[in-house]
Amino acid sequence: MTKPLESAQAAEGRGAQGGGHGEGEVFDPAEHRPTTRGLGIVVVVVVLLLAGLAVAGIVPRIMHRSAMDDDERRAASEMPRVRVAKAERSTAKSGLTLPGSVQPLQETILYARANGYVRKWLVDIGAQVKKGQVMAELDIPDIDEQLRQAEAAANQAQAGINQAKSQRELARTTNNRYETLGPSGVVSQQEIEQYHSSYEVQQSNVAAAEASYGSAQANVRRYQDLKSFGTITAPFDGVVTMRAAEVGQLVTSGTASGQALFKVAEVDIVRVFVNVPQLYSAGIKVGMDAPTSMRETPGRVFAGSVARTANELDMATRSLLTEVDIPNADRTLVSGMYAQVAFDVKRQDRPLFVPATAVLFDAQGTRVAVVHDGVVSWKTVVIDGDFGDRLAIASGLAEGETVAVTPSERLIEGLHVKMEAEPAQAPAAEPTRTPTEGAGQPSGPQQASQAEKGSGAKSP
């Protein structure tokens, strides 16, 4: 019994030395607990990690807050800066350019005046024709037949005149004979009066026959004129701009049911019709120069002049219809071309201009921010015209007043600001472009551009 017990104790001793756990062995956790030094190191590492995270999160916030405080102090100590410009009047003369349409000096469409068929046509589109030149010939058999009938009727009326004259001569001779025999008593007074009346009747028959002949002759001339309409001629010197005549084509007289055969236009001188806005209508005078340019001929200016005006404004557009005549000997200008006509207009009331961005449109109306001695005040204005980069002011603003170029609602009434002058520009003159007269609130794109630009002042 002693030997087995010693063997078990020896085995237990070996297991403890080897660190293994066998069946029946006892585990001591005290051997695996960390030491005090190890715990200290772990605590220090955790503390350092938490401190680093705290510094990384708090320091930027402190710096940002400090920057905001600096900005607030700087904004409180400094006045906002505003770009300003002066309201200036235009020059006495205004360069005004308006669109127009080129048209011939005169133009006409030729129709057939008689029913018939086209026998032949002699000119085509683009042909130069002279006044009276034959352009087409028509076969008009109906009119030819009617002319022959009219001529036969005229001949018959001529024969009737000869017959009536013969009967009148017989009646005259008989009347003279009975008047000679009357005093002798051979014939009665009744017979004398009877033959005298017969003579007067024959005179009337001759007059009636002559009148009938005149009517027949007039009918002949009428059909001769209709026959002449079988020849289509040019009404004036010009160019053929349209041809619809074809050989064998049936044509009918008149414009209601008939088909146009030719169109002729006189283009040695062309005219351009321009609608001048009411704002400038008083400056348009007959005879004034109106140089005209075309996109198709860059660099070339055509010498035009105002030939006439309508002398009244169109009620729909409030514009004056103006005709500008331009010599066109080389036929460069073609009917239907788009033209730009320039007028050097003298205006008695020179408009007051401000930058287009200086006008603010909001619920309070159309306003500008006026800056006087560094203090902002708002004024309501009325727009006279829209010239793109500038607006003409009709009322509400005085010449020479200083306005904010890009105002916003942050510029409150009475705010003190620091003014910055807008870069110098050319003297105020009306732009050479088409104005929109009586422009109220600008279109959407202009409003959007102002909103995008925002305020020129810094936030107070």
pLDDT in tens, 365-412: 899 999 988 889 999 999 887 777 888 888 889 888 999 998 887 888
């603010």: which residue's tokens?
360
CA 385 to CA 394: how far, in whole Å? 8
Do residues 235 and 264 lie in contact, with contact meaning Cβ atoms separated by under 8 Å? Answer: yes
Count the neighbouring beta carbons within 10 Å of the beta carbon of residue 126.
9
pLDDT in tens, 73-97: 665 556 778 889 988 887 655 678 8
User: Does residue 183 form part of some domain?
Assistant: yes
What pLDDT is stored for residue 104 in this prediction?
Answer: 93
* Per-residue model confidence (pLDDT) at position 454: 39
The answer as to whether 205 is a domain residue is yes
- Whose tokens are 């705010």? That residue is 415
Query: Which whole-number Å values give the CA distances from 143 to 134, 140, 220, 227, 258, in the listed order?
Result: 20, 6, 11, 6, 17
261 lies in some domain: no
Structurally, the chain folds into a number of domains equal to: 2
Tokens matching residue 390? 């500038």
Pick from 228, 255, 273: which residue ends a domain?
228
Would you say how long the chain is, in residues? 460
pLDDT of residue 33: 62
pLDDT at 148: 87
Predicted local confidence at residue 15, as pLDDT: 47
Structural domain that includes position 369: 81-90+350-453
Q: Are 147 and 223 in contact (CB under 8 A)?
A: yes
Is 185 contained in some domain?
yes
The answer to whether 346 touches 429, Cβ cutoff 8 Å, is: no
CATH number for the domain that contains residue 449: 2.40.420.20
Q: Is residue 371 part of a domain?
A: yes
Q: 276 lies in a domain?
A: no
The residue out of 228, 262, 278 marking a domain boundary is 228
> What pLDDT is recorded for position 453?
39
Distance CA 245, CA 231 (A): 13
Same domain, 364 and 432: yes
The overall longest dimension of the chain from CA atoms, in Å, is 225
- Position 384 scores a pLDDT of 81
Which of 228, 259, 280 represents a domain boundary (last residue)? 228
DSSP state of 380: E
Handedness of CA 57, 62, 63, 64 (dihedral sign): positive
pLDDT at residue 306, as a whole number: 94
Classify 426 as helix, strand or coil. Answer: coil
Same domain, 85 and 172: no
Low pLDDT (below 70) residues in the chain? 1-34, 38, 54-55, 59, 70-78, 91-94, 256-257, 346-349, 423-460
User: Token match 């715990």: residue?
Assistant: 39
Q: Say if 399 falls within a structural domain.
A: yes
Q: Are 86 and 166 contained in the same domain?
A: no
Alpha-carbon span 428 to 390, nearest angstrom: 10
The reply to whether 33 falls in a domain is no
Spatial separation of the C-alpha atoms in residues 355 and 378, rounded to whole Å: 16
CA-based R_g, the chain, Å: 55
175 lies in the same domain as 85: no
Q: What angle do CA 274, 279, 280 make, to 5 degrees?
A: 50
